[in-house]
Protein backbone atom coordinates (compact mmCIF):
# COMPACT_ATOMS: atom_id res chain seq x y z
CA UNK A 1 0.00 0.00 0.00
CA UNK A 2 1.28 3.48 -0.87
CA UNK A 3 0.94 6.24 1.71
CA UNK A 4 -1.06 9.35 0.79
CA UNK A 5 0.35 12.71 1.87
CA UNK A 6 -2.05 15.51 0.94
CA UNK A 7 -0.41 18.76 -0.14
CA UNK A 8 -2.35 21.76 1.23
CA UNK A 9 -0.62 24.45 -0.85
CA UNK A 10 -3.83 25.29 -2.71
CA UNK A 11 -5.82 25.63 0.49
CA UNK A 12 -3.19 28.16 1.53
CA UNK A 13 -3.56 29.90 -1.82
CA UNK A 14 -7.32 30.23 -1.33
CA UNK A 15 -6.81 31.50 2.22
CA UNK A 16 -4.23 34.08 1.17
CA UNK A 17 -6.45 35.38 -1.65
CA UNK A 18 -8.78 37.17 0.80
CA UNK A 19 -6.32 38.07 3.56
CA UNK A 20 -8.38 36.21 6.18
CA UNK A 21 -7.83 32.83 7.83
CA UNK A 22 -10.54 31.19 5.72
CA UNK A 23 -10.24 28.40 4.70
CA UNK A 24 -8.19 27.48 7.73
CA UNK A 25 -5.26 25.27 6.68
CA UNK A 26 -5.05 23.47 10.03
CA UNK A 27 -8.77 22.68 9.97
CA UNK A 28 -8.36 21.21 6.47
CA UNK A 29 -5.34 19.23 7.64
CA UNK A 30 -7.42 17.83 10.52
CA UNK A 31 -10.24 16.95 8.13
CA UNK A 32 -7.75 15.22 5.82
CA UNK A 33 -6.17 13.18 8.61
CA UNK A 34 -9.59 12.25 10.00
CA UNK A 35 -10.42 10.72 6.62
CA UNK A 36 -7.35 8.51 6.96
CA UNK A 37 -4.59 10.26 5.02
CA UNK A 38 -1.11 9.23 6.17
CA UNK A 39 0.30 12.71 6.11
CA UNK A 40 0.24 16.37 5.23
CA UNK A 41 2.62 18.08 2.83
CA UNK A 42 3.25 21.78 2.44
CA UNK A 43 5.71 23.61 0.24
CA UNK A 44 6.30 27.07 1.71
CA UNK A 45 7.93 29.07 -1.09
CA UNK A 46 10.04 32.18 -0.34
CA UNK A 47 7.14 34.50 -1.28
CA UNK A 48 4.72 32.39 0.82
CA UNK A 49 2.22 32.69 -2.04
CA UNK A 50 0.27 29.77 -0.57
CA UNK A 51 1.67 27.68 2.29
CA UNK A 52 3.37 29.87 4.89
CA UNK A 53 6.18 29.16 7.30
CA UNK A 54 3.60 29.60 10.10
CA UNK A 55 1.55 26.76 8.57
CA UNK A 56 4.51 24.46 9.16
CA UNK A 57 4.55 25.18 12.90
CA UNK A 58 0.76 24.97 13.16
CA UNK A 59 0.47 21.64 11.31
CA UNK A 60 3.32 20.16 13.34
CA UNK A 61 1.34 21.06 16.50
CA UNK A 62 -1.79 19.42 15.06
CA UNK A 63 0.07 16.23 14.21
CA UNK A 64 0.88 15.70 17.88
CA UNK A 65 -2.76 14.53 18.11
CA UNK A 66 -2.15 11.98 15.33
CA UNK A 67 0.57 9.54 16.36
CA UNK A 68 2.01 7.71 13.36
CA UNK A 69 0.96 10.34 10.83
CA UNK A 70 3.56 12.56 9.21
CA UNK A 71 4.39 16.11 8.18
CA UNK A 72 6.40 16.54 4.99
CA UNK A 73 7.82 20.00 4.32
CA UNK A 74 9.02 20.58 0.77
CA UNK A 75 11.16 23.37 -0.53
CA UNK A 76 14.44 24.82 -1.68
CA UNK A 77 17.02 24.76 1.15
CA UNK A 78 17.63 28.48 1.48
CA UNK A 79 18.52 29.95 4.90
CA UNK A 80 14.93 30.75 5.95
CA UNK A 81 13.59 27.38 4.82
CA UNK A 82 16.30 25.55 6.75
CA UNK A 83 15.76 27.72 9.84
CA UNK A 84 12.06 26.83 9.84
CA UNK A 85 12.57 23.12 9.10
CA UNK A 86 15.22 22.78 11.81
CA UNK A 87 12.84 24.42 14.31
CA UNK A 88 9.67 22.56 13.25
CA UNK A 89 11.45 19.21 12.82
CA UNK A 90 8.96 17.55 10.46
CA UNK A 91 9.03 13.80 9.94
CA UNK A 92 10.24 14.36 6.39
CA UNK A 93 11.80 17.16 4.37
CA UNK A 94 11.73 17.00 0.58
CA UNK A 95 14.40 19.20 -0.98
CA UNK A 96 13.31 20.70 -4.30
CA UNK A 97 15.64 22.68 -6.62
CA UNK A 98 13.15 25.47 -7.27
CA UNK A 99 14.03 29.03 -8.11
CA UNK A 100 11.94 31.53 -6.07
CA UNK A 101 10.31 32.84 -9.25
CA UNK A 102 9.18 29.49 -10.66
CA UNK A 103 5.42 29.11 -11.18
CA UNK A 104 5.69 25.57 -9.83
CA UNK A 105 8.21 22.77 -9.42
CA UNK A 106 9.33 21.60 -12.85
CA UNK A 107 12.61 19.67 -12.48
CA UNK A 108 14.60 17.43 -10.22
CA UNK A 109 18.04 18.01 -8.71
CA UNK A 110 21.26 18.00 -10.68
CA UNK A 111 23.02 16.19 -7.87
CA UNK A 112 26.34 15.93 -9.73
CA UNK A 113 26.48 19.74 -9.91
CA UNK A 114 24.96 20.49 -6.49
CA UNK A 115 26.37 17.67 -4.37
CA UNK A 116 28.80 19.85 -2.41
CA UNK A 117 25.94 22.13 -1.34
CA UNK A 118 23.48 19.30 -0.70
CA UNK A 119 25.67 17.02 1.41
CA UNK A 120 26.02 19.29 4.50
CA UNK A 121 22.37 20.37 4.33
CA UNK A 122 21.20 16.77 4.27
CA UNK A 123 23.54 15.88 7.13
CA UNK A 124 22.19 18.75 9.26
CA UNK A 125 18.57 17.69 8.65
CA UNK A 126 19.30 14.04 9.34
CA UNK A 127 21.13 14.97 12.55
CA UNK A 128 17.76 16.31 13.77
CA UNK A 129 16.10 13.00 12.94
CA UNK A 130 14.39 14.32 9.81
CA UNK A 131 14.02 11.91 6.89
CA UNK A 132 15.47 13.62 3.81
CA UNK A 133 14.06 13.20 0.30
CA UNK A 134 15.52 14.56 -2.93
CA UNK A 135 13.13 15.59 -5.68
CA UNK A 136 14.49 13.78 -8.75
CA UNK A 137 13.76 13.21 -12.41
CA UNK A 138 13.14 9.50 -13.12
CA UNK A 139 16.66 8.73 -14.32
CA UNK A 140 17.91 5.39 -12.93
CA UNK A 141 21.58 6.35 -13.27
CA UNK A 142 21.08 9.36 -10.98
CA UNK A 143 19.85 7.38 -7.99
CA UNK A 144 23.35 6.40 -6.88
CA UNK A 145 24.30 10.08 -6.63
CA UNK A 146 21.20 10.79 -4.50
CA UNK A 147 22.30 8.03 -2.17
CA UNK A 148 25.88 9.31 -2.13
CA UNK A 149 24.87 12.72 -0.73
CA UNK A 150 22.95 11.08 2.13
CA UNK A 151 19.33 11.08 1.02
CA UNK A 152 16.98 8.58 2.66
CA UNK A 153 14.53 8.65 -0.22
CA UNK A 154 13.98 10.15 -3.64
CA UNK A 155 10.72 11.67 -4.83
CA UNK A 156 10.17 10.95 -8.51
CA UNK A 157 8.93 14.07 -10.32
CA UNK A 158 5.85 12.73 -12.08
CA UNK A 159 4.76 15.49 -14.45
CA UNK A 160 6.07 13.55 -17.48
CA UNK A 161 4.17 10.47 -16.29
CA UNK A 162 0.96 12.48 -15.90
CA UNK A 163 1.37 14.11 -19.32
CA UNK A 164 1.85 10.72 -20.98
CA UNK A 165 -1.05 9.09 -19.16
CA UNK A 166 -3.74 9.53 -21.83
CA UNK A 167 -1.37 8.93 -24.74
CA UNK A 168 0.11 5.90 -26.44
CA UNK A 169 3.33 6.57 -24.49
CA UNK A 170 1.56 5.73 -21.21
CA UNK A 171 2.98 2.23 -20.82
CA UNK A 172 6.53 3.11 -21.86
CA UNK A 173 6.73 6.17 -19.64
CA UNK A 174 5.30 4.24 -16.71
CA UNK A 175 7.97 1.60 -17.32
CA UNK A 176 10.66 4.31 -17.11
CA UNK A 177 9.31 5.37 -13.72
CA UNK A 178 9.19 1.80 -12.46
CA UNK A 179 12.78 1.26 -13.60
CA UNK A 180 13.88 4.44 -11.80
CA UNK A 181 12.06 3.29 -8.66
CA UNK A 182 13.70 -0.14 -8.82
CA UNK A 183 17.11 1.44 -9.34
CA UNK A 184 16.59 3.56 -6.21
CA UNK A 185 15.33 0.62 -4.16
CA UNK A 186 18.25 -1.55 -5.28
CA UNK A 187 20.66 0.78 -3.43
CA UNK A 188 18.51 1.20 -0.32
CA UNK A 189 16.57 4.35 -1.19
CA UNK A 190 12.84 4.37 -0.61
CA UNK A 191 10.76 6.02 -3.31
CA UNK A 192 8.16 8.78 -3.09
CA UNK A 193 6.40 10.32 -6.08
CA UNK A 194 4.56 13.52 -6.84
CA UNK A 195 3.51 16.36 -9.10
CA UNK A 196 0.41 16.31 -11.31
CA UNK A 197 -0.78 12.97 -9.97
CA UNK A 198 -4.54 12.63 -9.91
CA UNK A 199 -7.33 10.14 -9.20
CA UNK A 200 -7.10 8.67 -12.70
CA UNK A 201 -3.34 8.22 -13.05
CA UNK A 202 -2.15 7.46 -9.51
CA UNK A 203 -3.25 3.80 -9.50
CA UNK A 204 -1.14 2.62 -12.45
CA UNK A 205 2.01 4.26 -11.07
CA UNK A 206 1.61 2.73 -7.61
CA UNK A 207 0.23 -0.69 -8.58
CA UNK A 208 3.66 -2.43 -8.82
CA UNK A 209 4.27 -1.54 -5.18
CA UNK A 210 7.55 0.35 -5.55
CA UNK A 211 6.22 3.74 -4.37
CA UNK A 212 6.21 4.26 -0.59
CA UNK A 213 4.39 7.62 -0.58
CA UNK A 214 2.66 9.95 -2.99
CA UNK A 215 2.12 13.61 -2.24
CA UNK A 216 -0.82 15.09 -4.08
CA UNK A 217 -2.34 18.55 -3.88
CA UNK A 218 -3.29 20.43 -7.01
CA UNK A 219 -5.47 17.80 -8.73
CA UNK A 220 -6.91 16.60 -5.41
CA UNK A 221 -8.08 20.13 -4.62
CA UNK A 222 -9.64 20.54 -8.06
CA UNK A 223 -11.31 17.12 -7.85
CA UNK A 224 -12.69 18.09 -4.43
CA UNK A 225 -14.53 21.01 -6.01
CA UNK A 226 -16.66 18.42 -7.78
CA UNK A 227 -16.65 15.45 -5.43
CA UNK A 228 -16.17 17.01 -1.98
CA UNK A 229 -13.00 16.96 0.08
CA UNK A 230 -13.78 13.97 2.27
CA UNK A 231 -14.93 11.89 -0.72
CA UNK A 232 -11.78 12.69 -2.71
CA UNK A 233 -9.43 11.79 0.12
CA UNK A 234 -11.27 8.49 0.55
CA UNK A 235 -11.18 7.89 -3.22
CA UNK A 236 -7.38 8.31 -3.25
CA UNK A 237 -7.05 5.96 -0.28
CA UNK A 238 -9.10 3.39 -2.18
CA UNK A 239 -6.84 3.78 -5.22
CA UNK A 240 -3.72 3.30 -3.07
CA UNK A 241 -4.90 0.41 -0.90
C1 LIG B 1 7.54 19.53 -5.51
C2 LIG B 1 6.23 19.45 -6.20
O3 LIG B 1 6.10 18.98 -7.29
C4 LIG B 1 5.08 19.96 -5.52
O5 LIG B 1 5.11 19.45 -4.26
C6 LIG B 1 5.07 21.43 -5.32
O7 LIG B 1 4.76 21.69 -3.99
C8 LIG B 1 4.03 22.08 -6.13
O9 LIG B 1 4.14 23.45 -5.82
P10 LIG B 1 2.91 24.43 -6.10
O11 LIG B 1 1.77 23.95 -5.24
O12 LIG B 1 3.47 25.76 -5.72
O13 LIG B 1 2.60 24.28 -7.58
N1 LIG C 1 5.50 16.65 -4.21
C2 LIG C 1 4.29 16.76 -4.95
C3 LIG C 1 3.26 17.47 -4.14
O4 LIG C 1 3.41 17.66 -2.94
C5 LIG C 1 2.02 17.95 -4.78
O6 LIG C 1 2.16 18.14 -6.15
P7 LIG C 1 0.79 18.47 -6.93
O8 LIG C 1 -0.14 17.31 -6.68
O9 LIG C 1 0.26 19.74 -6.34
O10 LIG C 1 1.18 18.58 -8.38
For residues 29 and 180, what is the distance between their CA atoms, to the nearest angstrom?
31
Residue from 222, 180, 181 nearest 199 by CA: 222
Domains of the chain: 3-240 (3.20.20.70)
CB 217 within 8 A of CB 229: no
Q: Determine the average pLDDT of the residues in 108-122.
A: 98
* CA 83, 192, 70, 120 torsion-angle sign: negative
CA of 194 to the centre of ligand 2 (A): 5
Percent of the chain whose predicted confidence (pLDDT) is above 90: 100
Fill in the DSSP letter of residue 72: E
Average pLDDT of the chain to the nearest whole number: 98
pLDDT digits (tens, 9 = 90+) for 45-86: 999 999 999 999 999 999 999 999 999 999 999 999 999 999
Rounded mean pLDDT, 200-213: 98
Confidence of residue 140 (pLDDT cuts 50, 70, 90): very high
Measure the N-to-C terminal CA separation of the chain; round to a whole number of Å.
Answer: 5
Count helices and strands (H / E) in the chain.
11, 8
List all residues whose CB is within 6 A of at least one atom of ligand 1.
Answer: 7, 9, 43, 74, 96, 104-105, 135, 194-195, 215, 217-218
Nearest by Cα to 126 from 56, 77, 183: 77
* Interval 161-186: pLDDT, tens: 999 999 999 999 999 999 999 999 99
Q: Has 166 been annotated as catalytic?
A: no
pLDDT band at 42, cuts 50/70/90? very high
Contact 214, 3 (CB under 8 A): yes
Burial readout 160-175 (b: 16 or more C-beta within 10 A, e: otherwise) = bbbebbeeeeeeebbe
Ligand at minimal distance from the CA of 194 is 2
Q: Which residues, in sequence order, are bridge partners of residue 99?
A: none
Query: Are the CB atoms for 142 and 187 separated by under 8 Å?
Result: no
For the segment 207-227, the average pLDDT, to the nearest whole number, is 98
Band (241; pLDDT cuts 50, 70, 90):
very high
pTM over 0.90: yes
- Are 219 and 199 a contacting pair, CB within 8 Å? yes
Rounded distance between C-alpha atoms, residue 157 and residue 155, angstroms: 6
Residue 123 dihedral angles phi and psi, to the nearest 5°: -60, -40
Among 44, 81, 104, residue to substitute to test ligand 1 (most atoms within 8 Å of Cβ): 104
Q: Is 233 helix (H, G, I), strand (E, B) or coil?
A: helix
| Selected catalytic residue, list 3, 190, 195, 223 | 195
Amino acid sequence: MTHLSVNLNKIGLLRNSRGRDYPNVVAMAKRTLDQGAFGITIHPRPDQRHATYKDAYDIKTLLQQYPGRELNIEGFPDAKFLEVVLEVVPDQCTLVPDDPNQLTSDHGWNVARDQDALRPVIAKLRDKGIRVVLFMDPVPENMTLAKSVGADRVELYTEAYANAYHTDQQASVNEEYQEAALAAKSIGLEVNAGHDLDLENVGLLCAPGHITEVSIGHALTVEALELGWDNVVKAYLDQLS
